Structure 1
Amino acid sequence: MLCPSSINLYKTMKLQLNVLFGISLLFLAVGSYAQQKASGIVYHDQNQNGKKDRTEAGIAGVPVSNGVDVVLTDNYGKYELNVGDDDIIFVIKPSGYKAPVDKHNLPQSYYIHKPGGSPTNLEYAGVAPTGPLPKSIDFPLLKNTEADRFRILVFGDPQAYTAQEMTYFNRAIVDEVIGVKDVAFGISLGDLVGDDLSLHPSYKESIARIGLPWYNLKGNHDMNYDVSADSLSDETFEANFGPANYAFNYGKVHFIVLDNVRYPNPRTGRGYLGGFRKEQLDFIENDLKHVPEDRLVVLAFHIPLDHRNGDTFRAEDRQRLFDLLKDYPNTLSLSAHMHTQTQHFYRREEGWHRDKPHHEYNAGTTSGDWYSGELDSRGVPKATMRDGTPNGYAFIEFNQAQYRIRYQASGRDTSYQINLFHPKVVGQGKRSRAAIFANFFMGHHGNTVEYAIDGGEWKKMIPVRTTDPAYHAILYPWDNLDTLIPGRRPTDATVSMHLWRIALPIDLPVGEHQIRVRATDDYGFSHEASSSYRIEPAKNYPPLTPTSGRTN
């Protein structure tokens, strides 16, 4: 066993080696970037053998990128791009085509060029040396019927830290969606695993069971932490999933997938920060040159753009992103990371350039509150998130430039969109602060939420920013029982951004009373929840027996 001083020396030498490796890669890239050209053909693979046969024609006008530059194939499907010694060449899939997929249903439309491979002293292996640049890097595409109206499946943060938690992910999430119909593809919004990157293969096997083409992006728990440069933090991700930044088209929608986790933090050198490198923003700029302005542009990344005065996301990076999108009236961002669910709307005062706000859906997570809480009937943790949202996943339906997002709670009926919390019994006319709380999982305070008692008049509930008392009820046994509960205590509650409140009516006849709550979402769909409570004759404190004297 190494003594502490030896361990520190080892870590220092390892960090220095990574620094030297990063510097050498930088100089190699600078020295060779202008001298090397990657070229090849994007072609229609009619017989689906993965090789370009003499009779198979190239496809004109297909964007191809090296992660910064974007060029279009010529009339014969040919392209040519500058390439360095740490680049990935990829096709930006056009509408009407699909990329071949591997045994895990991951699209294979890229080529990694790392002649020297990734650093060899990483805890989790990166890309093996790829050797000299091939003479021709060809990309097969298959014709595919893509309707303007289609659905996708969205996972936030599967984030299993152990093999057991991967089993929970399979049982609570994957098993529910195996063989799902009328879904074009799926995407996971980062944190595919929880720091142990050796679980990436198990995650891929889990995703393969669903039977859909699946896109992935990198989260802060998918990184190589033992590196000194952000450009090296995705070495294992690249080996397992391909490029961390890419784009593709489906129907009339253009998708841009980005790694927005900066590690190490460029401000402090410690931890991570949300943001983009210059070359990523340059890629977006070059990519959008080939995207018609009437298309819906969907961006997917891990950390939400909400920068909270710049302490969680670099404001200057978000602003340049907004600048690049100023000519696109139809946009949507998808993020995860927070293990809550929130609808963000960025307006002119936040640097957005249009009257119509930019909508960011910060998705609830499949792991919920990190696989915590008591076990449900399936033998998996209930994992309700800190804002009262159940763990689950989302379906997004697109129709040209329009979209609708629907959240699906794991293990629940599709109608479960609102959770109600209130006392079960109250005293008639007894003054109290008893209230009905409605947690509308996909809501925000711009939505209308109403209630009715015993079939009476619908009245508006009041939006509130506080913690969900239903979540506090989940925490209560963990903090008050004198017997140990199996599993892990959920984390403390956080303010819910989709909670409404109204005082519980108490001046009603003794007996059972029905509560109905309805909410209208951003897409015009109405959702309802119902419950009941009982009013009993009020009980007062017993009278005190008068005392004969004063007690000091």
Structure 2
Amino acid sequence: MLNRRNFLKNLGLTGSLLTVPAAIVNANPFSKRGRIDLSLINLKGKVSANGKGLAGIAVTDGINITQTDKNGNYQLTSNPTAEFVYISVPRGYEIPSENGIASFYKKIDKNKVVQTNDFQLTALTVDDTNHNFVVWADTQMRSKADCELLKTQSVPDLQALVQSYPKGTPFHGIGCGDLVWDKFELFKDYKEAIQMCGIPFYNVIGNHDMDIEARTDDLSANTFKDQFGPTYYSFNRGELHYIVLDDVFYIGAAKRYIGYLTENQLQWLEQDLATVKPGSTIILSLHIPTFTGAARRANKDEVLGGTVSNREKLYKMLSGFKVHIMSGHTHFNDNWEEGDIMEHNHGTVCGAWWTGPICGDGTPSGYGVYEVTGSDIKWHYKSTGLPKEKQLRIYSKGRLKDAPEEISANVWNYDHRWKVEWFEDGIAKGDMEHRTALDPWAIELYEGPQLPKKHKFVEPTLNDHMFFAKPSTDAKKIKVKATDRFGNVFEEEISM
């Protein structure tokens, strides 16, 4: 295996600016208006804990990555196009945070040719090899009333979840984008909600967190950066390496965007992955899913704003690692797996935009919960206000008008390794039939131009987690038994 430091040096990660000819750097511009300043800035500092420097910590300006020396010192040649200098928090240390928001970065002063930024870390008092995290997708508040629902329903649910684990269990959250719904004044309420949760949150930019008055993608994240810092970065906890990316590419017209990863991020990612041991487990979070089954279900072409156009390039870069992708954006729950990559596209905290208790696919408002043991991960979907054991919903015969003779069940966090069986009056009847379908309750709540009253654009959406069975005419009781990939069994019954 290549020596890591030599490999980083060969990639130009030890502090050198990407080579720019001196003639270009020093050239007199035709006009000062709009000039890009490529003068050099020398970033330096120290990463330490309890007064002792920490070696091998990745430090970046979002362009290049360097690592601290044996005394914890770093130097990085940058330029005024960079906005932050920040670290990849190592395992075994607390996530630095301010009122619950991860604070792992310092803003670069573009007027100082030489500047020092030190980072102080605090060692954890417990081993973080085993730890938990949650993924909150699409809190997406548009009004103070929405914010109140977040604070009075979602926050207490997460507080109770954290308290249900042994005291001191390392926990963190990932806000998976669309933290608000274009109303930037509500970032304040989002932050207040996070602070109430009592665990540190890293945050992802979503399409509703962008400055839609910007003329290009480059400036569309200015407000988000003022609130939460860099839009792409990494950190470590236990044996896992976490990466956050910005895959919402604004095309310069109001509310128009595509799912796309820029070259700036990918060249940074290439360097970041060079610091990670091959075969490691990676948690990669972004807002727009890299891929879903939505186009297949609707028998339509993929929507450019619905998935990541250059995802295959990303997958190729992640080859050799075990990867779990965390995404939001769709307001439905969808899991897919191929080789060493699995994507969890989460149902939302806001459900169908705070209009009712479920998303358009019937998934309850809620969030993903992930339990990490070493490099292994187990997970479940936590429905807001419901016990963790609630993992499916049964509908009586004929509730879905397209299946008048069948009972149906929605197993919202289903993936291909689940098993869904049914029993009629205590007699095992085998596996239920798995079909793409609409959720009956979602149809009742959201279908048609007049529903729901709050946001009439909401409609029921096809999903891949509906199951069907045809009971006998004299059946009295039906039970559905769903077993997840970890052997956990969930059961629901209905009387006929």
The question of a shared fold, defined as TM-score above 0.5 by the shorter chain, is answered with: yes
- Counterparts of 1:359 and 1:252, CA distance in 2: 18
Amino acid paired to 1:207: I
Distance in 1, matches of 2:100 and 2:113, equals: 27
Aligned residue number for residue 312 of structure 1: 304
1:419 aligns with 2:393: yes
- Aligned twin of 2:481: 518
Aligned residues of 1:59 and 1:77 also touching (Cα < 8 A): yes
Identity between Structure 1 and Structure 2 (%):
28
Q: Which residue does the alignment assign to 1:290? A: 275
Asked if structure 1 preserves the Cα contact closer than 8 Å seen for 2:259 and 2:309, the reply is no
Q: Is residue 2:130 matched to residue 1:149? A: yes
Q: Aligned residue for 2:259?
A: 274
Q: Is the 8 A contact 1:172 1:411 kept in 2?
A: yes
Q: 1:280: how far off?
A: 0.3
How far apart in 2 are the matches of 1:322 and 1:100?
A: 30
Match of 1:198 among 185, 197, 205: 185
Q: Provide the C-alpha distance between the structure 2 equivalents of 1:286 and 1:42, rounded to a whole number of angstroms.
A: 20
Matched, 1:261 2:257: no
Aligned match of 1:501? 468
**Most deviating of 398-407 and 363-372:** 398-407
Partner AA of 2:116 in structure 1: S
User: Superposed, which structure 2 residues align to 1:46-125 within 5 Å?
Assistant: 46=50, 56-87=51-82, 88-102=84-98, 104-113=99-108, 115=110
C-alpha distance in structure 1 between counterparts of 2:95 and 2:359, whole Å: 36
Is contact 2:433-2:468 (8 Å) kept?
A: yes
RMSD: 2.5
Q: Indicate the residue corresponding to 1:40 in structure 2.
A: 45
Equivalent in the alignment of 2:371: 397
- TM-superposed CA distance for 1:490, in Å, is 7.5
The residue identity in structure 2 corresponding to 1:325 is L
- Provide the secondary structure at the position in 1 that maps to 2:361: coil
- Give a deviation string over 1:394-425, Cα, whole Å, max 9, x none: 21011222211111111112211101111399
Match of 1:463 among 434, 455, 470: 434
Q: Which amino acid aligns with 1:326?
A: S
Matches within 5 A, 1:351-430: 356-373=339-356, 382=357, 384-423=358-397
Amino acid at match of 1:517: V
Q: Distance in 2 between matches of 1:476 and 1:96?
A: 49
SS in 2 for 1:262: strand
Aligned to 2:120: 140
| Structure 2 Cα separation of the partners of residues 209 and 456 of structure 1 | 48
Which whole-Å CA distance do the structure 1 matches of 2:181 and 2:71 have between them?
A: 45
Distance 2:94 2:34 in 1: 34
Change over 3 Å in CA distance of 1:198–1:25 after alignment to 2 = farther
Q: Is the 8 A contact 2:247 2:308 kept in 1?
A: no
Contact 1:372–1:490, Cα closer than 8 Å, also in 2: no
The 2-side partners of 1:388 and 1:320 are apart by 33
**Are the structure 2 counterparts of residues 393 and 196 from structure 1 closer, same or farther at C-alpha, using a change threshold of 3 Å?**
same
- CA offsets 1:262-312 (integer angstroms, 9 cap, x no match): 0017xx997100011101011111001110113211100000011756642
Give the corresponding residue for 1:184: 171
Matched, 1:169 2:169: no
1:16-27 → structure 2 map (5 Å cutoff): 27=35
1: distance between equivalents of 2:460 and 2:336? 20
SS of 1:178 mapped into structure 2: helix
Q: Partners in 1 of 2:185 and 2:32 — Cα distance? A: 27
Shift of 1:114: 5.3
Q: Is the 8 A contact 2:95 2:200 kept in 1?
A: no
TM-superposed deviation, 1:488: 4.8
- Report the 3-state secondary structure (helix = DSSP H, G, I; strand = E; otherwise coil) of the residue aligned with 2:467: strand
Counterpart of 1:454 in structure 2 is 425
Change (3 A) 1:297 1:236: same
Look up the match of 1:218.
205
Give 1:530's aligned residue: 493
| Preserved contact between residue 135 and residue 326 of structure 2 (Cα < 8 Å) | no
Structure 1 gaps of 5+ residues are 1-22, 47-55, 116-130, 348-355, 374-381, 426-431, 534-552
TM, length-normalised to structure 2:
0.84
For residues 487 and 245 of structure 1, the distance between their equivalents in structure 2, rounded to whole angstroms, comes to 34
Pairing partner for 1:343 from 321, 335, 338: 335
Give 1:370's aligned amino acid: W
How far, CA to CA, are the matches of 2:470 and 2:345 in structure 1?
A: 30
Contact kept, 8 Å, 1:160 with 1:166, in 2: the verdict is yes
Is the contact made by 2:66 and 2:75 (CA closer than 8 Å) also made in structure 1? yes
Structure 1 residues 511-537: Cα deviation after superposition (integer angstroms, max 9, x where no partner): xx111101122222221111111xxxx
Question: AA paired with 1:494?
Answer: T
Query: TM-score scaled to structure 1, two decimals?
Result: 0.76
Distance verdict in 2 for CA 1:423–1:471, change over 3 Å: same
Query: Compared with structure 1, are the counterparts of its residues 100 and 471 closer, same or farther at alpha carbon in structure 2 (3 Å cutoff)?
Result: closer
